[in-house]
A = this chain, B = another copy of it.
């Protein structure tokens, strides 16, 4: 398995195609470092005893020890370990671990390529397994590029005024295909090894060219990564892990990108586009049942800490709010457990999470995220929004005033109070906090997307039969 040093080394050697604020930048530029640190942790923790048996596993294809972030789940136990690992790594990076999306893409492809071959007599599965061996063997970071830019939301792909508003196949050649279009909100694309492109929705026959899936190196000719970063405020003197980690998303442009056939995993089989789109979403929502509880854990811990520092931790309304936060985290996590143990082994051997539980879990997280920040802000009071700048805590002019007047509960040092409120300020009043809230709402599918899947897959008819039976209604 790779070290984080090797990973960064590799990034440095890649072709420059990352744009930021109008400039072509290096993959290890200072703006991308906070995200690089996040991904590096997934490599570093391999040697960390806290992650023993959790972050490594055995490849079902090669029998080699691999990073779990490259693993295809083969059992409920696998899914539960993935969920647990994600919760734990997110605690230590203070938020989204970013790498799960590539893993979820791999898992979706692992059973959908099987279905494609079964229906169409294609050979996608074989190609995919070769790619998987490469992916696992090199311990790669894959960015899953799913969300198209979508243009007018009331129109289907082929109905858009500009046909490129969804990614599509321009040309099929002997050696591969040429694709065009753009995906947006693509987390970690700028620091990934690979970009794995998947369809974003169900397709109809007229949309056949839009039913396309493939993987390419992130620095391929024809790929441009216009990148937005959300980084914590730099700390000058009061260093803290929370200030080390950030978030990077890209507009991924496929500008007449050529993809050789061995890396194409769907090409025109529109009836199965939904299976791949939803299959990825399903694995990804299961992953969210790990990361979202982690974020709630951080909110809970920060809430409990500031309540303690304020001297109000024993108040009944505080206890009730903390129990409420814990309930959110554990209901979402419980949904992930249920999704694993009620999951099913697909014919291909891939173990697929239960759809209903993964979706009710992700939905519960999404409908609560803003409320969680509200609870934190409620317990913290106004100081996260008015905390003087770091320099004032350091300057001889003002330091003694702030040290004197920030004091709260007896026995807690002014430095710890300061560090606590600086964390809160980062969590509540920074651009990164806003990005986290939006990501918590929409990332991996907004609550309305989960409702659509629940609506489509839940057995409402059985519930109606129960109501009819109780009502004494006889239907023929």
- Seen from chain A, the residues whose Cβ lies within 8 Å of a Cβ on chain B are 19-24, 91-92, 94, 147, 149, 151-155, 161-162, 164-165, 182, 184-185, 224, 226-228, 230, 233, 238-243, 249-251, 253, 255, 297-298, 300-302, 304-305, 308, 310-312, 315-317, 319-320, 322-324, 326-327, 330-331, 333-335, 337-339, 341-342, 356-357, 360-361, 363-364, 370-371, 373-374, 377-378, 381-392, 394-395, 397-398, 401-402, 404-410, 416, 419-420, 422-423, 428-431, 433-435, 437-439, 441-443, 446-448, 450-452, 454-455, 458, 460, 462-473, 475
A473–B438 CB distance below 8 A:
no
Instruction: Give Cα A295 to B320, complex, Å.
Output: 26
B374–A405 CB distance below 8 A:
no
B409–A152 CB distance below 8 A:
yes
A473–B416 CB distance below 8 A:
yes
Q: Which of A153, A230, A447 has the most CB of B within 10 A?
A: A153
| A21-B391 in contact given A226-B402, A441-B378 (Cβ < 8 Å) | yes
Which residue in chain B gives the minimum CB-CB distance to A407?
B151
Q: Report A473 CB to chain B, min CB distance, Å.
A: 5
Name 15 A/B residue pairs within 8 A (Cβ), A-sorted.
A22-B397, A23-B395, A149-B407, A155-B311, A250-B386, A301-B462, A301-B465, A323-B458, A330-B335, A337-B341, A382-B438, A385-B434, A385-B435, A428-B438, A429-B431
A316–B319 CB distance below 8 A:
no
B385–A439 CB distance below 8 A:
yes
A91–B315 CB distance below 8 A:
no
Which residue in chain B gives the minimum CB-CB distance to A372?
B370
Name the contact of A386 in the complex, choosing from B185, B311, B315, B357 (C-beta under 8 A): B185
List 7 tightest A-B contacts by C-beta distance, closest first: A22-B391, A240-B472, A429-B434, A301-B467, A22-B395, A301-B463, A21-B391
Question: Which residues of the partner chain B approach A357 to less than 8 Å between Cβ atoms?
Answer: 330, 334
Question: Which residues of the partner chain B approach A397 to less than 8 Å between Cβ atoms?
Answer: 19, 22, 24
| A466-B382 in contact given A337-B337, A338-B333, A391-B22 (Cβ < 8 Å) | no
Which residue in chain B gives the minimum CB-CB distance to A326?
B458
Instruction: Give Cα A341 to B77, complex, Å.
Output: 11
Name the contact of A382 in the complex, choosing from B356, B410, B443, B465 (C-beta under 8 A): B443
Question: Which residues of the partner chain B approach A470 to less than 8 Å between Cβ atoms?
Answer: 94, 240-242, 298, 423
B22–A297 CB distance below 8 A:
no
Instruction: Give Cα A330 to B460, complex, Å.
Output: 13
A162–B398 CB distance below 8 A:
no
Having A333-B338, A377-B438, A384-B434, one finds 20 other A-B pairs with CB under 8 Å, namely A19-B395, A21-B390, A22-B391, A22-B395, A23-B391, A162-B407, A185-B386, A226-B388, A241-B472, A298-B470, A308-B464, A315-B316, A323-B454, A331-B331, A331-B364, A337-B337, A337-B341, A377-B441, A377-B442, A382-B443
Instruction: Give Cα A335 to B361, complex, Å.
Output: 11
Total copies of the chain = 4
Which residue in chain B gives the minimum CB-CB distance to A248?
B386
Which residue in chain B gives the minimum CB-CB distance to A224?
B401
B383–A305 CB distance below 8 A:
no
B331–A392 CB distance below 8 A:
no
Instruction: Give Cα A446 to B312, complex, Å.
Output: 16
Instruction: Give Cα A108 to B77, complex, Å.
Output: 29
Instruction: Give Cα A137 to B465, complex, Å.
Output: 36
Question: Which residues of the partner chain B approach A401 to less than 8 Å between Cβ atoms?
Answer: 182, 224, 226, 251, 253, 255
A327–B371 CB distance below 8 A:
no
Name the contact of A330 in the complex, choosing from B149, B230, B298, B356 (C-beta under 8 A): B356
| A19-B230 in contact given A330-B356, A423-B471, A454-B323 (Cβ < 8 Å) | no
| A312-B154 in contact given A164-B404, A381-B442, A439-B382 (Cβ < 8 Å) | yes
Question: Which residues of the partner chain B approach A91 to less than 8 Å between Cβ atoms?
Answer: 466
A388–B228 CB distance below 8 A:
yes
| A442-B322 in contact given A337-B337, A466-B297 (Cβ < 8 Å) | no
